[in-house]
Structure 1
Amino acid sequence: MVADIVGARRFRLVLRPSVFLIMERSGNQVWNQVELARAVDGNDKNAPTVRNTIKRLAHHILKHSAMFVRGVRLPSAEEIAQKSAQIRATGEELTRLADKAEERHVSYDEFEVLLRRLHDLGSYPTNRQVSDVAHAIHGEEIVGRWA
């Protein structure tokens, strides 16, 4: 049996006796049966799931919380520490949101609230990081994971 499925990327599902593969449309193998099991049970931290993509973004924010747009006026050390703490707090909220993604549907609107807060604080995740989250959320909506 061969079927196309849509997630964070478009894949081809190949089922044959004792063979189970996820392949890209080009024919490149993405996951075999063992790798897919790790992705499904959450052990594959690189799988493009909602939880993993938000966690990767949160980790980046927490690691780089002292890097933010400073503006025209040079802020004091106290202002820098305060803003870094606010960015870290938002990163921790992203981590909690990622954990919730295993229990329920996490909408892009929920994610966007935290993303806007980061932007207001002068912290800008990369387009790739935000796009990965958006694709993962959209993929879950397409396949009806929480329907």
Structure 2
Amino acid sequence: MISLIVAYADQSVIGFKNEMPWHLPEDLKHVKQLTEGNTIVMGRKTFESLGRPLPNRRNVVLTRDETFSAEGIDVINHIDAINSLEGKVFIFGGSTIYDQTMHLVEEMHITRIHRRFAGDTFFPDYDPSEWELVDKIEGTQDEKNRYPYEFLHYRRK
């Protein structure tokens, strides 16, 4: 199964200057719970923003640069190669990768942050009529999770 996982704020902002413009520990915990033991596919810029492979999951970088390599990751150079990855696969970003792979995705795990942030990277538009909401969990705001948010799980109709 090919899934997509993303956190975005109002205006579909997912990043600013190659970083997430917010800190939301509950979202990081949620991402870890969903992706551990599975495969995550990300673009080179997303990988570089992380600075290292995420532990306890297969990290795959999709890039046109056929010379790119980094310790602890696998590299693929074509979107079609995603279909040959075994097990559950999560499209992990960034914006270009989301846009180029949306047609492959069977489910989306979205953390929707109800706040405006400056951004230069955005989650691409998608047709909501193609998706069915499976689950919605309201996030809890506290001193560490300062913004209103919710976890949304969609499946393609």
TM-score (norm 1): 0.23
Q: Which has the larger radius of gyration?
A: 1
Give 1 or 2: higher strand fraction.
2
Structure with greater helix percent: 1
